[in-house]
A and B are shown apart, each in its own frame.
Chain A
């Protein structure tokens, strides 16, 4: 097991090196003329003469040979200098870090219903195998599987905001936003709803909740489809096992058999996907945040991409990749600790 962990840790720098190489190559596809816009705003470039642009290129080393530029870029990136973000009007790293809590908050609120309802539906479906309930849940899952989040998000927005007016888009209402940014409001965790509770402002907490429900529903449906499928097939597998038959033969009630014997075993494969689900949830907020007009990393990338803000998109891409790489590493090591069978693979 130690050997496995050491091998994984040794590979980590290699993977990170490879990722930076890919990101750097993508930047080079732009060509030096466009790369200048990563340093100087387009409006300024339009007013510059060719000689001035050339001197800018010279100053930022855009005319150096490629390997040298890569090393310089890598050095700057490792020291946290990701360039200037046009969308955020601040350094890219600051812009990214400032938006992370919003995305974390969304993912946190989404994970609870996803796990509980998803597993519940999966077990319900497996226990009533081939019945009406099972078929209904399976169709529910199939539709969720085929429904893109931007379509479902738009429908939710239309119904819950347009028709019913319950869940408005955005992060907070105007008055709550002003209250949060005022001096009397202490920012502790950067998660608005929790900060509101800590400050004793239940009205703000309620307002934040109202804004987060619609995106959470959108995210949840798509992940339910995923999770309930895994739970269902794991549960069906377990129900065929000999020890379930033994438990039934002993005369245990169906409830005890399912809750005590079957469910616990069926949840093992579910735990193996839980980790990657959390990462996926954090990464997959681009569309939800864009549709519901929420501040967050996902919308930051989308805005940066549409406004051709190259330093922001490259910085975010690196950031997301690091989350994925390090998150996967932690998950794999944790599972290796929990389940010795994995180490052999």
Chain B
């Protein structure tokens, strides 16, 4: 595409009302996705000692020094100290289990040693039975525990030294060091508790929806904050849409080009495989594979990726076959350009637009499908910030609500609107691109 053509294309694109609305919608969602942590801050659990220290640091006075130090010390004691205490035992048991693995000590001795860990509730008591049947699994379990203890032990030593150092500092130096230590501790704490911001916080134990209020602008559904779910749901939607479509397009391009390039038997086999995959209805295949793989948003994506590459493969194959007889390809071939170079340099750039348009239009479909699966209760874990999950809460209240169902309108309207606008944005942009790149409209 030359400069002149690009200019014309852009002019057409921005002269198209639909495209502009589409871009505005998508821009809006991108902004929401980026600023999600600021407009809907996740409710990160706080460590009491740490927050105490933070407060003291903020209104620092020289007389507070001891208090800050003691808050840090107690944080160190609770989060690292216990690990440091137990580390020698863990190390001893791990080493004796390794000896057992080599055959140097008997099963009874190994069990005795392992019992030390179960007595301290460091590992589960079932391991004592498991060691008889499957010693390797037990050893690898204990190894994991050992590694964790080792890391924490080392971290604990470092922290202790830092605390000693902190004790010697005064004034501004002390404040600076204390602040940076607080940040370190905070990161460490968040890491150690395994916090996932994509899980909608449970604000109330009551399941019945609660109408929008100042505190919860979109209301509560099953005790979950709808506003939080809708905002973080944009991130989920982009994540699913982009990764599934990117993967499907890539695989489709590969399969389609190989089929068209090699032709003959390779083409026949690849296209029959494509036919077979197309013979399973998409929504059902995605549903079943998600069920089989289990819970998790990544499982949903894998399931959808497996069954979406086919139409791109067909499209690109058809386009390449058509382009094979074009003048410019024949000319390139006559000049002795190798086939693979013809495909990559000459054919693909001229046939890629339909693929891009198709990909754009499919992002919306993929988000709908993923949300549909979580609406049925498949894929996304309980309370995951996904528009479909929020809607699935609403269903019970609509069916069970009877005449009062309308009072729960907010459980549908907010997540529903978000989803429709998101999909609409992609469809508008896709439509506009199709109009522009449609060969019939091209000058």
Contacts and interface: CB of A to CB of B under 8 A. Distances in A.
A321 B375 CA distance: 23
B399 A157 contact: yes
Contacts, number: 142
Interface in A1-27: 11, 14-15, 18-19, 21-22, 26-27
Contact of A151 (B273, B279, B412): B412
A22 B427 contact: no
Interface in B287-330: 287-293
Contacts of A324: 279-281
Contact of B427 (A21, A145, A287, A310): A145
A165 B424 CA distance: 31
A204 interface: no
A163 interface: yes
Interface residues of B, number: 49
Contacts of A11: 272, 275
Interface in A85-144: 142-143
A158 B406 contact: yes
B412 A155 contact: yes
B285 interface: yes
Given A286-B287, A301-B287, A26 B412 contact: no
B424 A290 contact: no
A211 to B, nearest CB: 13
A158 B398 contact: yes
B304 to A, nearest CB: 14
A29 B409 CA distance: 41
B424 A18 contact: no
A148 B424 contact: no
Contacts of A169: 399
A7 B309 CA distance: 25
Nearest to B367: A148
A291 interface: yes
Given A154-B398, A157-B405, A19 B280 contact: yes
B395 interface: yes
B280 A157 contact: no
A302 B283 CA distance: 11
Nearest to A283: B281
A30 B403 CA distance: 43
Contacts of B364: 146
Contacts of B412: 151, 154-155, 158
A146 B280 contact: no
B311 to A, nearest CB: 14
Interface string B40-51: 000000000000
A180 interface: no
A313 B372 contact: no
A218 to B, nearest CB: 13
Interface string B410-431: 0010001001100110011001
B416 A306 contact: no
Contacts of B292: 26-27, 29-30, 310
Q: Which of B292, B408, B416 has the most chain A CB atoms inside 10 A of its CB? A: B292
A316 B291 CA distance: 14
A174 B285 CA distance: 35
B288 A142 contact: no
Interface string A27-50: 101100000000000000000000
Contacts of A158: 398, 405-406, 408-409, 412
A333 to B, nearest CB: 16
A317 B395 contact: no
A157 B281 contact: no
Contact of A22 (B276, B378, B424): B276
A148 B418 CA distance: 12
Contacts of A145: 427
Contacts of B394: 154
B391 interface: yes
A157, A159, A293, A328 interface centre (most CB from chain B within 10 Å): A157
A306 B376 contact: yes
Given A146-B424, A148-B372, A150-B375, A317 B280 contact: yes
A165 to B, nearest CB: 6
Contact of B420 (A27, A146, A284, A291): A146
A161 interface: yes
B377 interface: yes
B279 A146 contact: no
Interface in A251-305: 283-284, 286-287, 290-291, 293, 301-302, 305
A198 interface: no
B242 interface: no
13 contacts: A15-B276, A21-B276, A29-B293, A142-B431, A146-B427, A148-B371, A158-B405, A161-B402, A290-B376, A306-B377, A310-B292, A313-B288, A324-B279
Interface of A: 11, 14-15, 18-19, 21-22, 26-27, 29-30, 142-143, 145-148, 150-151, 154-155, 157-159, 161-163, 165, 169, 283-284, 286-287, 290-291, 293, 301-302, 305-306, 308, 310, 313-314, 316-317, 320-321, 324-325, 328
Given A162-B404, A305-B287, 6 more contacts: A15-B279, A142-B424, A143-B420, A154-B394, A155-B412, A287-B372
CB-CB nearest 7 A-B residue pairs: A162-B405, A18-B276, A146-B424, A146-B423, A151-B416, A148-B368, A305-B291
